[in-house]
Chains A and B, each alone.
Chain A
Amino acid sequence: MSAARAGWTGRLKLGPIWLAAPALAFIAVFLVLPMLRLIGLSMQDADTAAFTLSHYQKLADTPVYMRILGITFRISALTALFSVLLGYPLASWLAAMPDDKRNKWLFLVLLPFWTSYLVKTFAWMIMLGDKGLINSILTGTGMAEDSVSLMYNELGVIIGMVHAMMPLAILTMVPVMANVDKRLSLAAGSMGARRSQRFWLIEFPLTMPGVAAGGLLTFITSLGFFIVPAYLGGRGETMLAQIIIVQVQQLVNWAFAAVLSVMLVVAALLSIWLYDRFFGLSTLTSASSAGGKTHGQWLRALGQKTLAGLAWLTSPFDRLGGREDGRQPIKFAYVLVIFFFLLAPAMIVVPLAFTSDRALTFPPPGFSMRWFQTYFDSAIWISATIRSFGVAFATAFAATVLGGFAALALARSDSRYSRVIFGLMLAPMIVPRIVIAVGLFYLMAQIGLVASNIGLIIGHTLLAIPFTFIAIGAVLKGYDWQLDDAASTLGAGRITVLRLITLPLLRGGIIAAALFAFVTSFDELTIALFISGGLKSTLPKQMWDDMYLQLNPTLAAVSVVILVIVTLMLVAAQRVQKS
């Protein structure tokens, strides 16, 4: 923060960098402040409050924490890799569509997002279990003699996490891909480049900002996961967030929880730095690195060679990729498979909502509406639903405005503080939610915002800002600023340019950002656990409470209700947009 402040006094001129000020102030108050307090805790003796490094000593003395950090990194990296890799063809398929058609398909990509984390995870348990759906099919058809271990191991965790993260990767990649000028590829083709060469040497490098953003986003988000590894993992899949939660909630050892949080944050920052070094993240939001030029050149040369090599390697498959009439049967089949993967849990959850059974057995033994009855008869469920929607709408608005202006600021400014600002904007994503929640609870309690809707909105906005920042930043990357300049030379003021030129052109990115923010809030549990104080329950909080003892199909019914309402909402939003 001190660097940023020095910047404000040093540069009194109202540069574009000032557009980031509201978001930065928000993050400073609601994230940096509580975090500083936690860091203070990590260096304090629990009894005497004297300065001590003994908590950090423990970290050095016990290798298990480094090991868990390693596992966390490995699982997150694999999740990011598969989310981007498997999501890439789907994203490019979507990017090639006209806008309105794409939005319809994007809804399907988003669909798993609208299903609560908890419910999704249990749907995977039903599918992947030893006596689960997939194994029943495998053994039933004789494809496998014995059950295959699909979960309670690393595979299960990766499946659950890739499923949760792939929509994020796709949504980040699509806007960038859609902005790629297709004529470049056509031009290369007309000059004799083969299909594989066109892809690896033209299209792929141009979509790199999206790939980098998607990879980084999924990687960092994955670092803080705890529900999926807890339920789908086995003996060896313990992630750092789980350990932090145990320290806070069970051992009430806030000092060591703070130490572990600091370790996670430092490790995440380090990986961002490395990522930046090797993949040139700086191109993402124009937080340009001045010194990396020479470094970048030989790396770029190396990258170019690699891509050329890939083009050569894949050239024998050129004919498989698609016919010259533009039809791509293999790609389409692949897209269907990925959609199936994304929608599978929802396909489990919907029938379960209509089960006549008291347990979540699949397939349901009979049809019944009793679980919907339970939901609609319950004042608690209904009030939680209304609150969740209200909070999510407010969050979507606040986070899009704050994150959007910050992205604009960084895209338009070459300030030397860009890097610091960039880091701060991503900070809410890097700090595990449980840590944010605990820190916020303290702050909110002091200003009387616990158990208030405003408190929930603030907490959720904080979590959503990085998503809106990156989503809008990614489209800004491919934005042609000369259009703005052109408008200015024609006499348009700054506001007019923003309103009539910039915003309409960025509409896709802004809508994506608002949807991200909405979803983040809608499915948020950790902050709600603390801030709601039990009095202002949101839907995930209510689901969590309800499944404390037993999983019953009311949860599935609630998920279906959410799906229907959100679908109607999105359709309405599209209608409004068109008219």
Chain B
Amino acid sequence: MTKKNKMALDRRTVLATGAAALATPMLGRRANAQVSELTVADPGGPFTQGYRKAFYDPFAEETGIEIVSVARDAEPTAQFKSIVETGTYIWDVCTLTLSARLILENEDLLDPLNLDPALTGDMMPEAVHPNFLGIDVYSTVFGYNTEAVQKPPSNWAEYWDVENFPGRRALRKNPIDTLEQALMADGVAPEDLYPLDVDRAFAKLDEIKDDIAVWWTGGAQTSQLLQSGEVDMTSGWNARLQAAIDSGAPAKIVWNQGLYSIEGWGLPKGGPKGDAAREFVAFCSRPEQQALFTDDLSYGPTNLKAYDYIDAERAKVLTTAPENLAGMRIADEAWWEENRAEMTERFNIWLLT
């Protein structure tokens, strides 16, 4: 079985290098000239599909460097750490969330990207870091069942108002986003959220504690919750809610007061193919490439110029489309990095009492 795989890989590499040699003799040859392949870890599933179309295949075509994609764990920080500390570079590039970026930066596990500032001029400023390039934007919002809910809530205050906006509700079994939602429900404006008034948030959570039918833990669960009619409204990541809608669930997303965050590329420190990896990351900043992944993923591109290439109808379900972005704000990863352990503990205590 091992032999077979190797042969398949070899054949692919040979074909790719051959094709590349014919098609693009010049481009991309300067960085790690001997590199013929990069291993890129992405979240798998539709991400792989979308990224392959937008980045992997076009990059291989342009540079001759084939991209082997592997699916990473949802929170790869522990793996990332082991990779660097043990020097086993099984990944050359990996998708990271902003919070993972911060953790890894603090532990000095990321390589600098040395991006040309000209490339990132049209990008959201929050997406560009010396060691991280944001690619897609996801948002924590809420969705409701359009058949079951006659009068849908339009913000978190109304989501909390179980009297006037009846329906079975779900929230995430995690303090992240949930505390912010509680504060917004209590009237805090999105721009004034941080630093979080934690006592106030928990007090507000007390009000709704007994009215939450489901505390969800995984993203796929929220699609299922809406799809099956288990709950009438739930918080969730926009793409998961969109997945339910795409497969026919009578549901709608409320973008107002959403909290967005960014996923993008990071390089394990000291990787042997660093230069080629940096070239790949730079390639991913291009708006016309970013536009391509939105066919498969309902996440917004970080290069806002990408909307020049995106169909207006499709733009409606993307996080960074101007009208969706307007009512949202970015989650403060620095605050969470500082307080996450403590909040997780307190939230667990709160849940159990």
Residues of A within 8 A of B (CB): 62, 64, 67-68, 71, 122, 125-126, 129-132, 152, 230-231, 234-236, 238, 243, 246, 248-254, 357-361, 383, 386-387, 390, 438, 441-442, 445-446, 448, 450-451, 453, 529-530, 533-535, 537, 541, 545-551
Contact = CB atoms under 8 A, between A and B. Distances in A.
B215 A357 contact: no
A19 to B, nearest CB: 32
B154 interface: no
B314 interface: no
A441 B75 contact: no
Contacts of A451: 90
Nearest to A530: B79
A83 B351 CA distance: 28
Which of the listed residues A125, A357, A359 has the most CB atoms from chain B within 10 Å of its own CB? A359
B340 interface: yes
A359 B71 contact: no
Given A130-B168, A550-B240, A251 B215 contact: no
Given A67-B352, A358-B247, A549-B47, A231 B41 contact: no
Contacts of B230: 125, 129-132
Given A234-B215, A549-B45, A533 B340 contact: no
B88 to A, nearest CB: 4
B213 interface: yes
B149 interface: no
Given A249-B77, A534-B70, A550-B45, A453 B1 contact: yes
B75 A551 contact: no
B90 A534 contact: yes
Interface stretch (B220-228, B287-295, B315-323): B220-228
Nearest to B68: A535
Interface of B: 1-2, 5, 39, 41, 43-47, 68, 70-75, 77-79, 81-83, 86-88, 90-91, 103, 107, 168, 173, 209, 212-215, 217-221, 223-224, 227-231, 239-240, 243-244, 246-249, 340-341, 344-345, 348-349, 351-352
A359 B247 contact: yes
Nearest to A128: B230
B345 A62 contact: yes
Residue in B91, B103, B173 whose Cβ sees the most chain A Cβ within 10 Å: B173
Given A125-B224, A235-B215, A441 B79 contact: yes
A64 B345 contact: yes
A230 B107 CA distance: 30
Contacts of B221: 231
Contacts of A131: 228-230
B83 to A, nearest CB: 8
10 contacts: A231-B217, A246-B344, A250-B344, A254-B78, A358-B246, A359-B227, A361-B227, A533-B90, A548-B71, A549-B46
Given A231-B221, A549-B46, A64 B246 contact: no
Given A131-B229, A234-B215, A438 B78 contact: yes
B215 to A, nearest CB: 6
B76 to A, nearest CB: 8
B285 to A, nearest CB: 24
Contacts of B213: 130, 152
A530 B228 CA distance: 33
Contacts of A132: 228, 230
Contacts of B78: 248-249, 252, 254, 438
B5 A383 contact: yes
B219 A446 contact: no
5 nearest A-B pairs in the assembled complex, by CB-CB distance = A534-B70, A545-B44, A445-B86, A545-B71, A358-B247
Contacts of B215: 152, 234-235
Q: Which of B70, B168, B231 has the most CB of A within 10 A?
A: B70
Given A67-B352, A445-B88, A549-B220, 8 more contacts: A71-B352, A122-B224, A131-B230, A152-B214, A246-B344, A250-B340, A548-B47, A549-B239
Contacts of B82: 441-442, 445
B219 A549 contact: yes
A438 B76 CA distance: 12
Contact of B348 (A68, A358, A387): A68
B1 A390 contact: yes
B296 to A, nearest CB: 10
A252 B44 contact: no
A248 to B, nearest CB: 5
A360 B348 contact: no
B340 A231 contact: no
A450 B88 contact: yes
A529 B73 CA distance: 7
Contacts of A251: 340-341, 344
A535 B90 contact: yes
Given A249-B73, A361-B227, A547 B220 contact: yes
A268 B224 CA distance: 35
A533 B70 contact: yes
Contacts of B87: 445
A82 B74 CA distance: 34
Given A359-B244, A550-B45, A250 B75 contact: yes
A236 B210 CA distance: 12
B173 to A, nearest CB: 8
Contacts of A71: 352
Contacts of B107: 252
B228 A446 contact: no
B248 A358 contact: yes
B295 to A, nearest CB: 15
B53 to A, nearest CB: 16
Contacts of B72: 534
Given A358-B248, A534-B90, A535-B90, A546 B44 contact: yes
Contacts of B103: 252
Given A235-B212, A445-B82, A360 B224 contact: yes
A450 B90 contact: yes
Contacts of A122: 224
Contacts of A130: 168, 213, 229-231
A246 B348 CA distance: 12
Contacts of B212: 235
A267 to B, nearest CB: 18
Nearest to A390: B1
Contact of A238 (B214, B227, B228, B352): B352
Given A129-B230, A441-B79, A548-B43, A535 B70 contact: yes
Given A64-B348, A453-B2, A534-B90, A252 B220 contact: no
Contacts of B43: 548-549
A252 to B, nearest CB: 5
Contacts of B168: 130
B352 A357 contact: no
Nearest to B88: A445
